[in-house]
Amino acid sequence: MSSYLSQLRTLPRPFWILAGATFVNRFGVFVWPFLTIFITRNGNTAAEAGWAIACYSIGSFGAAALGGWLADRLGRNVTLGLASLGSAACMMALSQATDWRILAAIAFATGLVGEAGQPAGSALVQDLVPPEKRVLAFAVMRFAVNLGWSFGPAVAGLLAESSFFWVFAVDAATSAFFGIIAWTSLPRGNRTEAHLAGWGVALASIRKNPPFLALFAACLCVAWVFRQTSTTFPLHFERSGLPMSWCGLVLAMNGVMICVLEIPLAASTRAWPVRVMLALGYLLMGGSFLVLLGGGTIALFTVTMIAFTIGEMFAFSRQQAYAASLAPEDMRGRYAGFLSFAWSIGGIVTSVASLHLYETDPILLWSITAGLGMLAAMLILKAGR
C-alpha cells in the first residue's frame, strides 16, 4: 500500500489537475450508455439506431486526424478545451432531435468535435510523466474516468426513467466544465514546428513501426468487443425484461471495480510482461460475452460485467503505456490520433454490424465477439519488440 502511494505522490501537479477535471467530465457521460435506448424510444428501429451511432464513430474517425494534428501543432490544452466546449453544444442539440436521420447528423458532429480531445489528453500524460511511471499514470487516469463512470450511469439510468432531457443537459454541463479547466489550467505540452507537424511525416514513421501496427490491428478487434457494452449489452438487458435502473447499476460495477482495484494492480504488476498482460486482458474481455449464451438473467449480466472488467484492468492502462513507448516524442499527438483511427473504424463497423447481427442471431454475435478478443491477443503476442 505505502509503496504505490509513494509512487502516486511523485506524479506532477498538472497531471492531477487533468485527472480531477477528467473525473468530473466522465461522471457526466450520461448520454452514451443510453443513446440506443433514446433513439429507439423515439420510434426508430434498432437498425436505424445502429446507423445513427455509426455516424458518431464516423465523426470520431475524422476527429482522430484533426485532434492529433491540433495536439502537436496548437497544444494539448487548447485542443482539449475546444473539443469539450464543442461537445457540450452538440449534446444539447441531440436532446432536441427525434428522427434517426437528424440524430445521425448531430451524432456525426458530436463525434468529430468531442473526440478530437482524446489524442491531446494521451499526449499530455506522456509529456508530463516519465516512461517508467506511465503505466501507473494511465491507471490513475482510468481511475478518474471510472470513478465518474461508477456513479454516472446509475444516476443517468434514474434520470432516463423520467426525462431524457436532463441526461443530455448534465452531460453538456460537465463537458463545458472540463473545457474551461483544460484551456485555463493545463500546460500546452510539447509542440511541433509547422513543417514537421503534418500527417505525411507521421505516417512515414508509422509504416516503419511493426509493433505499433500490430497494436493498431489489435485495437480494431477490441473496439468491437468494447463497444458491445454501450450498444447490444443495454439493449439485450432491456429486451430480457429487466428495468433500466438495474442496467445502470450493472454498468456502474465496471467503474467501481476499476476504482478499487486497478491502481494497486498496476503498481504491484508493473514489472510483469506487458504484451502477455495485454493478451490476457483481451481474451477475458471478448470471452466474457460467452456468458450471455446462458440466457438473460441479472446474474449472468453481472458475471459478464465482472469478467469483462478484469480483462479491461489487465489491458487498458498497459495498452496506453505500451503505445506511448512506441511513439516518437515529437509525434505523440499524431500517434495517439492514429491509434484512435482503430477505435473509430471498429466503432463504425460495430455500431452497424453488431446491432444488425443482434437482431438476427445474438448467439452468433457473442461468439464473434469472443473470437475477436482471441485474435487481438494473438496479434499482440506475435508482435515484435
In this prediction the pTM is: 0.71
> What is the distance, to the nearest Å, from the Cα of residue 327 to the centroid of all Cα atoms in its chain?
20
Predicted confidence at residue 367, as pLDDT, reads 94
Predicted confidence at residue 218, as pLDDT, reads 94
Distance CA 216, CA 137 (A): 22
- The Cβ of residue 203 has, within 10 Å, a number of other Cβ atoms equal to 12
Domain boundaries defined on the chain = 10-382
Asked if 61 and 181 count as a contact pair (C-beta separation under 8 A), the reply is no
Select from 19, 27, 35 the least CA-distant residue to 171. Answer: 27
- The CATH code belonging to domain 10-382 is 1.20.1250.20
Predicted confidence at residue 169, as pLDDT, reads 83
DSSP structure string for 97-147: --SHHHHHHHHHHHHHHHGGGHHHHHHHHHHHS-GGGHHHHHHHHHHHHHH
Number of residues that make up the chain: 385
Q: What is the pLDDT of residues 268-283, one digit of tens each?
A: 777 788 889 999 999 9
Regions of the chain short of the pLDDT cut 50: none
